[in-house]
Chain A
Amino acid sequence: MNRRQFLKYALYGAGGTAIGVSGLGALTKVAPKSAIATTNTEETTVFSACEMCRNQCPIAVKVVNGKVTKIEGNPNDSGFGGVICARGNSGPSLLYDPQRLKKPMIRTGERGTGKYKEVSWDEAYTYIADKLKVIQQDFGGESVAFASRKGPHDWFFRTIGKGIGSPNIFSHEATCPMTRSVALDSMFGVEAIAADYANAKYIVSFGRNWLEGIHIAQTRAIMKAIDNGAKLVVLDPRLSVTASKGEWIPIKGTTDLAFVMAMANIIITEERYDKDFVERYTSGFDQWKEAVKDKTPEWAENETGIPKETIIRITREFAEARPQAILDFGWRTGLTPNDFQLRRAIMIVNMMMGNFEVPGGYYRIKNASVTNRFPEMTGYAKALGAINQPAFPKPVTSRIDGTGIKGIPGQLIPEGDGAVGQIVESILTGQPYQIKAWMVHRFNPVISITESDRVIEALKKLDLLVVCDVYMTDTAMFADVILPECSYLERHEPVYDMSGLTPKYVLRQPAVELVYPDTKPSWQIYKELGEKMDLGKYFPFQNIENYISRQLTPAGLSLSQLKQKGVWTPEGMKPFYLRANDSQASLGNVISKVSQKIEFYSEEVQHATKQGVPQYKRHPQPEEGKFRFVQGKVAVHTNAGTVNVPVLNELMPENSLWINKASADNLGILDGDDIIISSGIYEHKGKAKVTEGIRPDTVFCYHGFGRISPELKRAFGKGINDNKLILNQIGEVGNVCTSMTMVTVKKA
Chain B
Amino acid sequence: MNNKTAELYLSFAGIFHRPHPEIAEHLEELIELWRGEIPESKEQLVEIEDYCRKYPLVNDRLDTLWEHYIPLFETGDIEAIPYASVYFNDNGLVLGKEAEDVREFYLSCGYVIGNEKQELPDHLAVELEFLALLARDGKTQKLAEFERDHLRPFLRTILPLIIKSKRPVYSSAAKTLEIWQLNSDRKGDSIG
Q: Which residues of A contact B (CB under 8 A)?
A: 3-4, 6-8, 10-12, 19-20, 22-35, 38, 65, 67, 92-93, 96-103, 105, 108-109, 114-118, 471-472, 515-518, 646-647, 709-713, 716
B104 in contact with A6 (CB, 8 Å): no
Closest 9 CB pairs of A and B: A711-B76, A472-B76, A96-B93, A117-B66, A35-B104, A517-B118, A32-B110, A28-B114, A26-B117
A19-B129 contact given A28-B113, A713-B77, CB 8 Å threshold: yes
B67 in contact with A24 (CB, 8 Å): no
User: How far, in whole Å, are A8 and B25 apart by their CA atoms in the complex?
Assistant: 15
- CB of B71 within 8 Å of the partner chain: yes
Q: Quick one: which of B94-135 are within 8 Å of A by CB?
A: 94-96, 100, 104-115, 117-120, 123, 125-126, 129-130, 132-133
A30-B112 contact given A11-B10, A24-B22, A118-B66, CB 8 Å threshold: yes
Which of chain B's residues have a CB closer than 8 A to the CB of A647?
91
The smallest beta-carbon distance between A384 and chain B, in angstroms, is 34
Which of chain B's residues have a CB closer than 8 A to the CB of A65?
100
Which of chain B's residues have a CB closer than 8 A to the CB of A4?
29, 32
A11-B66 contact given A27-B111, A98-B83, CB 8 Å threshold: no
The interface residues of chain B, by DSSP majority, are classed as: helix
B95 in contact with A96 (CB, 8 Å): yes
Q: Report which residue of A3, A646, A711 has the largest number of chain B beta carbons within 10 angstroms of its beta carbon.
A: A711
A27 in contact with B133 (CB, 8 Å): yes
How many of chain B's residues have a CB under 8 angstroms from any CB in A?
A: 65
B77 in contact with A646 (CB, 8 Å): no
Which of chain A's residues have a CB closer than 8 A to the CB of B163?
none
A7 in contact with B11 (CB, 8 Å): yes
Which of chain B's residues have a CB closer than 8 A to the CB of A100?
75
B75 in contact with A25 (CB, 8 Å): no
B118 in contact with A116 (CB, 8 Å): no
The smallest beta-carbon distance between B166 and chain A, in angstroms, is 16
B77 in contact with A108 (CB, 8 Å): no
A117-B107 contact given A6-B22, A26-B126, A27-B126, CB 8 Å threshold: no
User: How far, in whole Å, are A26 and B17 apart by their CA atoms in the complex?
Assistant: 9
Which of chain B's residues have a CB closer than 8 A to the CB of A97?
93-94
Which of chain A's residues have a CB closer than 8 A to the CB of B74?
102-103, 118
Summed over the interface, the residue pairs from A and B with CB atoms below 8 Å come to a total of 169
B107 in contact with A30 (CB, 8 Å): yes
- Nearest residue, chain A, Cβ from B79: A713
A19 in contact with B133 (CB, 8 Å): yes
A115 in contact with B67 (CB, 8 Å): yes
Which of chain B's residues have a CB closer than 8 A to the CB of A7?
7, 10-11, 14, 26, 29-30, 33
Which of chain A's residues have a CB closer than 8 A to the CB of B90?
96
- Nearest residue, chain B, Cβ from A98: B81
Q: What would 9 more interface pairs be, CB under 8 Å, given A7-B29, A22-B22, A28-B112?
A: A3-B29, A7-B11, A27-B106, A99-B76, A101-B75, A471-B76, A472-B75, A646-B91, A710-B77
The smallest beta-carbon distance between B163 and chain A, in angstroms, is 19
B66 in contact with A116 (CB, 8 Å): yes
- Nearest residue, chain A, Cβ from B81: A98
User: How far, in whole Å, are A38 and B101 apart by their CA atoms in the complex?
Assistant: 11
User: How far, in whole Å, are A549 and B96 apart by their CA atoms in the complex?
Assistant: 35
User: How far, in whole Å, are A129 and B71 apart by their CA atoms in the complex?
Assistant: 27
- CB of B92 within 8 Å of the partner chain: yes
A26 in contact with B93 (CB, 8 Å): no
Which of chain A's residues have a CB closer than 8 A to the CB of B167?
none
Which of chain B's residues have a CB closer than 8 A to the CB of A709?
76
B20 in contact with A23 (CB, 8 Å): yes
The 8 Å CB contact of A108, one of B13, B63, B100, B115, is: B63
A11-B92 contact given A4-B32, A99-B78, A472-B75, CB 8 Å threshold: no
The interface residues of chain A, by DSSP majority, are classed as: loop
The smallest beta-carbon distance between A357 and chain B, in angstroms, is 48
User: How far, in whole Å, are A634 and B124 apart by their CA atoms in the complex?
Assistant: 38
User: How far, in whole Å, are A32 and B106 apart by their CA atoms in the complex?
Assistant: 8
- Nearest residue, chain B, Cβ from A646: B92
User: How far, in whole Å, are A102 and B93 apart by their CA atoms in the complex?
Assistant: 14
Which of chain A's residues have a CB closer than 8 A to the CB of B105?
35
A98-B86 contact given A6-B22, A30-B112, A35-B107, CB 8 Å threshold: yes
The smallest beta-carbon distance between B30 and chain A, in angstroms, is 8
A33 in contact with B92 (CB, 8 Å): no
The 8 Å CB contact of B70, one of A6, A27, A29, A118, is: A118
The smallest beta-carbon distance between B121 and chain A, in angstroms, is 9
- Nearest residue, chain B, Cβ from A95: B93
Q: Quick one: which of B1-54 are within 8 Å of A by CB?
A: 6-7, 10-11, 13-14, 17-20, 22-23, 25-26, 28-30, 32-33
The 8 Å CB contact of B94, one of A26, A515, A716, is: A515
User: How far, in whole Å, are A472 and B94 apart by their CA atoms in the complex?
Assistant: 17
- CB of B182 within 8 Å of the partner chain: no
A6 in contact with B133 (CB, 8 Å): no
A24 in contact with B17 (CB, 8 Å): yes
Could you list 12 A-B pairs, sorted by A, with CB under 8 Å?
A: A3-B26, A7-B14, A11-B6, A11-B132, A12-B136, A23-B20, A24-B17, A24-B129, A25-B129, A34-B108, A99-B75, A114-B70
B114 in contact with A27 (CB, 8 Å): yes
- CB of B62 within 8 Å of the partner chain: yes
Which of chain A's residues have a CB closer than 8 A to the CB of B94?
96-98, 515
The 8 Å CB contact of A32, one of B23, B81, B107, B133, is: B107
B33 in contact with A98 (CB, 8 Å): no
Which of chain A's residues have a CB closer than 8 A to the CB of B92?
98, 646
Which of chain A's residues have a CB closer than 8 A to the CB of B18?
103, 118
Which of chain A's residues have a CB closer than 8 A to the CB of B130?
27
B75 in contact with A32 (CB, 8 Å): no
Which of chain B's residues have a CB closer than 8 A to the CB of A8?
7
User: How far, in whole Å, are A602 and B100 apart by their CA atoms in the complex?
Assistant: 64
The smallest beta-carbon distance between B82 and chain A, in angstroms, is 8
User: How far, in whole Å, are A110 and B71 apart by their CA atoms in the complex?
Assistant: 16
User: How far, in whole Å, are A34 and B92 apart by their CA atoms in the complex?
Assistant: 28
Which of chain A's residues have a CB closer than 8 A to the CB of B75?
99-102, 105, 471-472, 711
B108 in contact with A35 (CB, 8 Å): yes
User: How far, in whole Å, are A335 and B114 apart by their CA atoms in the complex?
Assistant: 54
The smallest beta-carbon distance between A663 and chain B, in angstroms, is 37
- Nearest residue, chain B, Cβ from A92: B93
The smallest beta-carbon distance between B113 and chain A, in angstroms, is 6
User: How far, in whole Å, are A93 and B86 apart by their CA atoms in the complex?
Assistant: 12
A26 in contact with B76 (CB, 8 Å): no
B107 in contact with A28 (CB, 8 Å): no
User: How far, in whole Å, are A101 and B112 apart by their CA atoms in the complex?
Assistant: 24
User: How far, in whole Å, are A115 and B75 apart by their CA atoms in the complex?
Assistant: 12
Q: Report which residue of B77, B106, B125, B132 has the largest number of chain A beta carbons within 10 angstroms of its beta carbon.
A: B77
User: How far, in whole Å, are A516 and B118 apart by their CA atoms in the complex?
Assistant: 7
User: How far, in whole Å, are A679 and B162 apart by their CA atoms in the complex?
Assistant: 42
